[in-house]
Structure 1
Amino acid sequence: MNKKLIGVDLGGTTAKLAILTKDGDIQEKWTIDTNIEDKGSHIVKDIGDSINQKLTDLQLDNDNFYGIGMGTPGTVNYETGTVKGAYNLGWAEEQNISEDLEKITGLTIRLDNDANVAALGERWKGAGEGGANVVFVTLGTGVGGGIFAEGKILHGVRGAAGEIGHVTVVPENGYDCTCGKKGCLETVASATGIVRVAKDFAKEFNGESKLKKAIENQENITSKLIFELGAEGDELATETIDKISFYLALALSHIGNMLNPEKIIIGGGVSAAGDQLLTPVKNYFETMVFPAVKESTKLSIATKGNDAGIIGAAWLALPTED
């Protein structure tokens, strides 16, 4: 029997679920809403019930599966299968996710942080191409990361390895970060951070700019709009993109010099800008890294998009002996 995998990518709005082959190919994919009411007490039951219903609908039973891999926000203890500090889910206190989900589904559960599983997904089936040393950086509402080194995902002593978003890139007069620090990468290179930089630049900008006019008219400014206007040659948008590319390259250069991975992969919503982001980041990165790193560590844009999380989560469920 060719056993399958189940991947779960839990987010604050929806949970993405999928059934995959042992080789990481998605066969069935669906989503459910994330119910964060009552301190998130319904989330695990909703996921378990949805999996059970799907297996019933497809006439599959537990013998068809190796188990379930799941990515979740928050600080994960991957050995005990618990998570805490996932405030957007209502999970301030420690939650026994693996134990509770196993009781509902009867399947073995493996748990890890959502940024880590996205890194695993890109490393396994995406831009990482199965490399043993791959770093994944996700630029979305925040900035997260996952580090795959010497064939293993790094967790650190308290599960905080890969917190790339909190590398300091503006040591003086940086923006306040939600973590309590100032000048973190997340404050300038996340989707909201890019808008913040543009609005600050606009205050000093005296030239012609559609972006400046849009800001002055209090229109809805997004990172996507900034990149679109940058592609049209808007000077303020171009200056903003150049500055955030510098900050991102600075953070990535520290990773490159310290770990010398085969690839550093940029994903998340902001990465949709493609070469418009990648090219200036590469140019700065190459001026900041050790010569051997410049020759061997490549930057690339993620290829698996929203599927990276469920693919990487499913990888967790693979039997270790295989």
Structure 2
Amino acid sequence: MQDTRAINRNAVLTALMGSRPASRKQIAELTGISAATVTRSVDQLLAEGIVRETTEIVSEARGRRAVELDIVADRSYVVGVDLGASNTRIIVADLLARPVFASETPTPTTMPEAELVEWIAATVREAAADVWDSVEHVCLGLPGAVSQRDLTVSNAPNLLQVESPTFLAAVQRAVGRAMHFDNDANYALLGEMHYGAARGAPNAAMLTIGFGLGAGLAIEGRILQGERGLIGEFGQLPIGPLGTRLEHMVTGGGILRRAAEAGLHLDAPAELFADDAGPGLLSLRGHFDQALLVVLTATTVSCDPQTIVLGGGIANSLISSIDRYRIALEQNLRISPDIATAELGDFSGAVGAVVASLHAVYAGLGVEEVAIVSLPNGDALTADQVARARSLA
């Protein structure tokens, strides 16, 4: 059980994290803690190197001036990694989510398991470079269902190495930092909720449609995570002819296979959505639309989201159809959430992995759990900020 001193310290830190920068007086007003107690807690946080006094002096009342306090942003760093079947995206950020590095590199999908583990560790260390010694936490998003019970991955046919029962444990040993692993769609949703298209939507969902079909669901700002990582695995639903899985009807590979089975040639899945598609493709498009409507319906009834965000390579081809999908949902359910494409683009997952890493670090610092879900705030990891960090890499 925490003593009163620790409780006050954590309350002061939580208030500052949510309303930074702030003076001692402002923190006292936010927390309801006496000015003397706030001062003692601030002194403790200053001694720990978590908080600093800024050089800016602000007027609080006539005849009085006070120093603002802020978080020591470079006290520690985190790394967010999105390991995809085609590309791996990495962001390194400070304690206030400000990116110092962002990159995208092809994933070496043909590497054996052990080599892929070492590649991930080396790539993370190289990304952090000079700040590696200050990196406290790393989050890695992967395709497939990630079991938090035994740290294993299933349903990742496009990157089979990660399904080895020892893969995640080996990655953690090789990286040598505290780590957390999750499905890439869960991290993508977390990123879009904090810095993208689902901002301001406590109940939200993310559908990533590309090589595979991923889904992330959130209620009251918290990502839903089952023990075996199967929440939102709508791609496994057997809705097609002879039990064809839904994933095979809406993903890039599935579109190409179904076109070939129908005797139609497609050079790329995007051709299915062309305005001048022929009759055969229009029939195939109808099957796609029906399958996607099933996904959207299942997503809506699963968490009653205010917003569903569409990401992944296929999502870019669906922009002109969003209103049609929304109308179809309203006809089926009498309601429809907003449907939007990902504002963070291909970096949604890496941004969300940074957010998850920061949540772990904040908890370790003593930030109150109830407040962590809304942090970090501000505009530190918007698409423009990520693009700027990439340009400097």
TM-score computed with the length of structure 2 as normaliser: 0.64
Q: Does 1:275 align with 2:319?
A: yes
Q: How does 1:238-317 map to 2 (within 5 A)?
A: 238-289=282-333, 291=334, 293-294=335-336, 297-317=337-357
Partner of 1:165: helix, strand, or coil? helix
Specify which of 215, 226, 235 is matched with residue 156 of structure 1: 226
Task: Say whether 1:227 aligns with 2:273.
Answer: yes
1:52 equivalent in structure 2: 125
Hey, what's the Cα distance between the residues in 2 that align with 1:257 and 1:105?
A: 39
Deviations 1:148-168 (A, max 9, x none): 223221222321111021234
Q: Aligned letter for 2:225?
A: H
- Distance of 2:155 and 2:254 partners within structure 1: 22
Q: CA deviation at 1:145?
A: 1.0
What is the distance in 1 between the residues matched to 2:259 and 2:325? 17
Question: Larger Rg: 1 or 2?
Answer: 2
Code of the aligned partner of 1:53: E
306-315 vs 130-139, greater mean Cα deviation: 130-139
Matches within 5 A, 1:10-49: 10-22=83-95, 24-35=97-108, 39-49=112-122
Query: Aligned AA for 2:255?
Result: I
Partner residue, 2:248: 187
Q: CA RMSD in A?
A: 2.8
User: Equivalent residues in 2 for 1:95-106 (5 A)?
Assistant: 95=166, 97=168, 100-106=170-176
> Which of residues 135, 139, 156 is equivalent to 2:205?
135
Local SS of the residue matching 1:117:
helix
Question: SS state of the match for residue 131, structure 2?
Answer: coil
Displacement after TM superposition at 1:246 (Å): 2.4
Q: 1:149 to 1:239 in 2, by over 3 A?
A: same
Deviation at 1:37, TM superposition (A): 5.8
1:123 deviates by 2.2
Q: Tell me what 1:113 maps to.
A: 183
Find the residue that maps to 1:317 and give its secondary structure.
helix
Q: How far is 1:199 from its partner? A: 5.5
Residue 240 of structure 1, CA deviation: 3.4
Q: Is the 8 A contact 1:133 1:263 kept in 2?
A: yes
- Between 1 and 2, higher relative CO (CA 8 Å, sep ≥ 6) is seen in 1
Equivalent-residue separation in structure 2 for 1:285 and 1:85 (angstroms)? 28
Letter in 1 for 2:272: I
Q: Match for 2:139: what amino acid?
A: G
Distance 2:340 2:197 in 1: 7
1:131 positional shift: 2.4
- Partners of 1:140 and 1:280 in 2: how far apart? 21
Tell me, yes or no, if the aligned pair for 1:9 and 1:17 is still in contact at 8 Å: yes
Check if 1:94 corresponds to 2:165: yes
Alignment match, 1:177: none
Measure the CA separation in 1 of the matches of 2:297 and 2:126: 47
What TM-score does the superposition give when structure 1 sets the normalisation length?
0.77
Counterpart amino acid of 1:155?
Q
* 1:175-228 Cα shifts (integer Å, max 9, x gaps): xxxxxxx2322121112333455556x67xxxxxxxxxxx3xxx4442211212
Q: Which stretches in structure 2 are left out of the alignment for 5+ residues?
A: 1-71, 373-393
Aligned length: 288
Structure 1 pair 29–220 and aligned structure 2 pair: CA distance change class (3 A): same
- Are the structure 2 counterparts of residues 135 and 4 from structure 1 closer, same or farther at C-alpha, using a change threshold of 3 Å? same
What is the distance in 1 between the residues matched to 2:99 and 2:146?
A: 25
Do the aligned partners of residues 244 and 132 (structure 1) sit closer, same or farther apart at CA in structure 2, a change above 3 Å counting?
same
Name the residue aligned to 1:77. Answer: 147
**Alpha-carbon shift at residue 262 of structure 1 (Å):** 1.1
Alignment CA distance shift 1:103-1:258 (3 Å): closer
Following the alignment from structure 2 to structure 1, what is the Cα–Cα distance between the partners of residues 283 and 152?
44
| CA distance in 1 between partners of 2:298 and 2:185 (Å) | 19
Counterpart Cα distance in 1 of 2:256 and 2:172: 42
